[in-house]
Amino acid sequence: MKERVSTVPALKTRRRKLRSEATPQEVILWSRLRGEQLGYKFRRQHSFGSYIADFYCREKSLVIEIDGSQHIDHEQYDARRTAYLQSLGLRVVRFGNNEINSIIDGVMTRIMELLEERHPLSISPSKEGER
């Protein structure tokens, strides 16, 4: 799959803003993903269509989302977004802020499991990408 980062100026500006105003949980997770620490390159705030993913590993077609309290009221939007990303052949995994804050080692273990899977598209949508 060949994806393209959107060149729409407004989306590019939004990605930059999201990177510069990262939440504490995004900073924590990024500190563990950056620089190929897990053996794979991750990108922050990567665009797919009109959506921006928190973290993306192209080699493994893996999108990692961090959900804060604002996502409670946006379940339908998140479901549409996840369905769109999955339609592109991407796997989506979501972690809550509380998971990043309290069980970061467990989060990292789950991410490593996803990166090491041999059949990346074998994850059922009911297991990943939905909460």
Which domain does 72 fall in, by range?
Answer: 10-120
User: Is residue 125 in a domain?
Assistant: no
5 vs 15 pLDDT, higher one: 15
User: Is residue 99 in a domain?
Assistant: yes
φ, ψ at 103 (rounded to 5°): -135, 50
**Burial (CB count <10 Å: 0-12, 13-18, 19+), residue 77:** exposed
User: Is residue 130 in a domain?
Assistant: no
Q: What is the CATH number of the domain that holds 29?
A: 3.40.960.10
User: Is residue 129 in a domain?
Assistant: no
Q: List all residues 6 or more positions away from 37 whose beta carbon is below 8 Å from its beta carbon.
A: none
Q: Which pLDDT tens digit goes with each residue over 69-96?
A: 654 567 888 889 999 999 999 999 999 9
User: Is residue 2 in a domain?
Assistant: no
Rounded to an integer, what distance in angstroms lies between the CA atom of residue 122 and that of residue 103? 26
User: Is residue 4 in a domain?
Assistant: no
User: Is residue 96 in a domain?
Assistant: yes
User: Is residue 127 in a domain?
Assistant: no
| Number of domains the chain is built from | 1
Q: Which pLDDT tens digit goes with each residue over 29-57?
A: 999 999 999 999 999 999 999 899 999 99
